[in-house]
Structure 1
Amino acid sequence: MVNSPAPADFAHALDLLNAGALVALPTETVYGLGADASNPDAVAKIFAAKGRPADHPLIVHLANAEAMQDWARDVPEYARQLAAAFWPGPLTLILKKQSWVLDAVTGGQDTVGLRVPAHPVALELLRCFAASRHDSPAGIAAPSANRFGRISPTTAEHVRDEFADATPFILDGGPCAVGIESTIVDCSRHQPVVLRPGHITAAQIAAVLSGEQAQSPANDMHAARKAAPRVSGSLAAHYAPATPLRIVKSQDIPEVLAVWQHAGKRCGVVAYSVDPRDASFHELVRMPATSMEYAQGLYAALRKLDAEGLDQIIVEALPDSQDWAAIADRLQRATAAHALADSSGR
């Protein structure tokens, strides 16, 4: 359900952005930590608040597809087709940047990530922001409103929990409808390549394109990404709760829980098809069995269990299908975060 902030809240958010301050805003994917993408001091505040590495690029949110030309050059026809088909929506296009675009936004690269969000609150703020700039390029850089590498927020309350006393002003637009980050497509080369899966699938992208280009969203992701620019959310370890997370096949969950019980450990379970009520667990989050509804609730479920002081979070393994690919990607990165921590001795 979308909330409609009061006009005074929109006005205050606009004043903050024009003053170089941060504003948390809702999108259909996750809540973003927004700043004026043309203001280097404002962009620096995003990196400081998140603890984000300086070479990790940001996504710039625009009010409409026409604004793409202000930020990108040499835009290929297939990118325009994708924008026409999916904007506003959860699709980010990586394009060759205009020379003036800040290196801090692009991570020092010659490409920039752009998207037009589908959330009405975000769009209204972006339109007001663009109008306030008097025909100057207007965009809001807005990575997820959380500490770097942690679980993305899908409600205003998640943003408050994340930043506590340092919470920026939040435009509360209600829970995010999609619940996972946007699909990212590299459009800086001859053919498009999907760099991060999301709600919009490679098959949907291919369906929009014609002829040879319809085959271009790459199936060989490893080979395609080797030559790809750095993009948001592409690190092997990301989207992680503080509690160690493990993915377990449905039939193995009772046995794994029994081992943890024998060791005297507290365990939480995220399950969509099995109910391990004969096994020992301390918290159970029942998830929907459809990929769209599961994605909407995933980060809220992980945040809920992460707050319980558990020793382990077990997530039931997902179906092996394209409908679930983006969710599987986020969970694999969440488990990788703890694997990397263990290997480094932390």
Structure 2
Amino acid sequence: MTTSYDCADADQRAAGLEHAQRAIRAHQCVVLPTDTVYGIGADAFSPQAVTLLLAAKGRSRKMPPPVLIPRLNALDGLATDVPAEARRLAEAFWPGGLTLILHAQPSLDWDLGETQGTVALRIPADDIAQDLLTLTGPLAVSSANRTGQAAAQTAADAEVQLAESVEVYLEGGHRPAEGEGSEPSTIVDATAVPLRVVRQGAISLERLRGVVPDVLGLGEEPAEAPEPAAEAPAPAAEAPSVEDSPRN
């Protein structure tokens, strides 16, 4: 049975987090506030739960959900071959509105959809979300709305759209908070260097480049390397010098 908890009340917040933890363990979906909008979350390591999440949204496996994590040290457990540039961005902007697409650890037993071997990771800057993630571990989380409809900015808004497909609704007030922008997270593809912005959002390109100067903006292409200058042939009577020899 669907239950909603008002997290402005300390007792309801504690009860809601406990119920949400049980629901995640039972492969059910929950709605939680994040620092951008409300999200629908499920156990990232349960294919059954991820399937329910996608079905609740009316979304196909071609649009896999990102994964929210509770702390930075979870990064290396879920991703592999993390570029130093991506690590610097994570250290600078997590928790916050930055999502990093990375190569997923191949040993992990999960199925988020058609990810092509990647995973999109973020740490949300929201106390309720972080409290839940600390209890549950990584969650597959997508915006709490039916595909094609407006993203929910309260748990009540989410319940109108998602109804009984969700076991627990954690109401934390309006998201984003009053006076804050409603931009989604900025998504950076970190599966190759230079890193590339694939969705512009809460973290501006200027701020990203303050940490990683060569990150590519949306739609930008890397500068082509200049053509090497032609070398003059060595005189016929001379053997090629060391500098002319190919390098191993």
TM-score, length-normalised on structure 2? 0.79
Shift of 1:219: 4.9
Distance 1:190-1:144 versus aligned 2 partners, 3 A rule: same
Shift of 1:97: 0.6
Distance 1:12-1:103 versus aligned 2 partners, 3 A rule: closer
Shift of 1:155: 1.0
Structure 2: distance between partners of 1:126 and 1:44: 20
The yes-or-no answer on 1:188 pairing with 2:191 is yes
Which entry has the higher C-alpha Rg, 1 or 2? 2
Distance 1:106-1:86 versus aligned 2 partners, 3 A rule: farther
Matches within 5 A, 1:68-79: 68-79=75-86
Q: With CA pairs under 8 Å and 6+ residues apart, which has the higher RCO, 1 or 2?
A: 2
Structure 2: distance between partners of 1:51 and 1:126: 24
Structure 2: distance between partners of 1:92 and 1:35: 18
Shift of 1:217: 2.4
Distance 1:102-1:149 versus aligned 2 partners, 3 A rule: farther
Q: Is the 8 A contact 1:28 1:179 kept in 2?
A: no
The yes-or-no answer on 1:112 pairing with 2:111 is no
Matches within 5 A, 1:202-217: 202-209=205-212, 214-217=213-216
Q: What CA deviation, in whole Å up to 9, does each residue of 1:154-176 have, x standing for no partner?
A: 11121022124545411111111
Among candidates 7, 20, 24, match of residue 13 of structure 1: 20
Aligned to 2:202: 199
Aligned to 2:104: 97
Q: Which runs of 4+ in 1 moved over 3 A?
A: 2-5, 100-104, 164-168
Q: Is the 8 A contact 2:45 2:111 kept in 1?
A: no
Q: What CA deviation, in whole Å up to 9, does each residue of 1:291-324 have, x standing for no partner?
A: xxxxxxxxxxxxxxxxxxxxxxxxxxxxxxxxxx
Structure 1: distance between partners of 2:22 and 2:131: 14
Distance 1:149-1:103 versus aligned 2 partners, 3 A rule: farther
Q: Is the 8 A contact 1:35 1:141 kept in 2?
A: yes
Q: Is the 8 A contact 1:106 1:112 kept in 2?
A: no
Distance 1:219-1:108 versus aligned 2 partners, 3 A rule: closer
Aligned to 1:143: 142
Structure 2: distance between partners of 1:174 and 1:196: 26
Distance 1:77-1:169 versus aligned 2 partners, 3 A rule: same
Among candidates 30, 41, 44, match of residue 37 of structure 1: 44
Distance 1:22-1:114 versus aligned 2 partners, 3 A rule: same
Structure 1: distance between partners of 2:40 and 2:71: 19
Aligned to 1:239: none
Structure 1: distance between partners of 2:48 and 2:82: 28
Q: What CA deviation, in whole Å up to 9, does each residue of 1:79-105 have, x standing for no partner?
A: 111111110111100001101346631
Work out the number of aligned pairs and report it: 210
The yes-or-no answer on 1:3 pairing with 2:2 is no
Among candidates 168, 179, 182, match of residue 182 of structure 2: 179
Q: Is the 8 A contact 1:27 1:176 kept in 2?
A: yes
Give the counterpart letter for 2:147 in structure 1: F
The yes-or-no answer on 1:51 pairing with 2:58 is yes
Aligned to 1:152: 151
Give the counterpart letter for 1:27 in structure 2: T
Which secondary structure does the structure 1 equivalent of 2:80 belong to?
coil
Structure 1: distance between partners of 2:218 and 2:199: 12
Shift of 1:47: 1.1
Structure 1: distance between partners of 2:102 and 2:109: 14
Structure 1: distance between partners of 2:110 and 2:165: 26
Q: What CA deviation, in whole Å up to 9, does each residue of 1:140-193 have, x standing for no partner?
A: 000001111221111112102212454541111111124332110000001111
Aligned to 1:23: 30
Q: Which runs of 5+ in 2 are unaligned?
A: 1-6, 223-248
Q: Is the 8 A contact 1:40 1:102 kept in 2?
A: no
Q: Which runs of 5+ in 1 are unaligned?
A: 130-137, 225-346
Aligned to 2:245: none
Matches within 5 A, 1:289-304: none
Higher helix share: 1
Which secondary structure does the structure 2 equivalent of 1:35 belong to?
strand
Q: What CA deviation, in whole Å up to 9, does each residue of 1:56-111 have, x standing for no partner?
A: 12100000011011110000111111111110111100001101346631524111
Which secondary structure does the structure 2 equivalent of 1:195 belong to?
strand
